[in-house]
Amino acid sequence: MKIREMVSANPILQITYSAIMTVIVFIFTVVFNVYIVQTRGYFNIGETGVYIAAITGGPFVGMVAGGFGSMLSDVVLGYSQYAPGTLVVKGVEGFVVGYLAMKLETIFRGKGKRPIGVLLGILFGILMYIIGKEFYVGTAEISINLFGANTMTIDFSEVIWGLSAVIIIILVIGLSWMKPNYIGYILSTIVGGMTMVLGYFLYEQVILGVAALAEVPFNTMQMSIGTALSLLVVSTVEKIWIEKKEK
């Protein structure tokens, strides 16, 4: 991506972009939260910001924005006990995604790689449906912290997760079919997301002494949603960037 190349070539621009993306990660994390009363399932869309920062800015930007933006979110939202772990875990996640996205996008260019994108789309859809129907069915409290805190209550059903799965499948397959290099981005978020899930598991189990295994599906859901939304945003930003350069 041209934005990443430009940012990586200029240390001052890299620092500036890192600061901007730190704010973006913070906003993505605090602005939208979902809590399922029955299962106590909770997720936010903070991974979206981390992946956007890493894919568009590279490993350094992903590390700084992912670590500090997410840590600040924990402090503001009242989860200060997670802040030290979040700084490290999300920082590592951002670095891994940024590094792998940079390396893998060249490998997966070409129409011959399209079947991999189809497979990944189907797997993401199945994963979202299974986790959604198991842990996110029931009364949901949705908090939107934009210009003041607002909370609404809706009921999540298996039908909603079925439709969400179909949308994820269409989105991932569509983007990877049109732009096979996005398969590299998808794989980078999967690996980075796995480091996040493992990192929080170890932090909660060893440092906080809580039931860490129970958090694994919720963190996995954040990874899945973050991958889908970040691909959509990156594709839009890339299109705008190309159109601007052509004028």
Q: What is the pLDDT of residues 149-174, one digit of tens each?
A: 678 787 888 898 899 999 999 999 99
Secondary structure class of 118 (helix, strand, coil): helix
How many structural domains are present in the chain? 1
Are 226 and 48 spatial neighbours (Cβ–Cβ below 8 Å)? yes
Q: What is the pTM of this model?
A: 0.90
Are 106 and 181 spatial neighbours (Cβ–Cβ below 8 Å)? yes
> How much is the pLDDT for 113?
86
Is the pLDDT reported for residue 41 higher than 60? Answer: no
Q: How do residues 57-92 score in pLDDT, each as one tens digit?
A: 999 999 999 999 999 999 988 889 889 999 999 999
Report how far Cα 40 is from the mean position of its chain's Cα atoms. Answer: 21
CATH number where 103 lies: 1.10.1760.20
Distance from C-alpha of 116 to C-alpha of 120, rounded to nearest angstrom: 6
Q: Which residue do the tokens 């958090």 mark?
A: 215
Domain of residue 75, residue span:
2-246
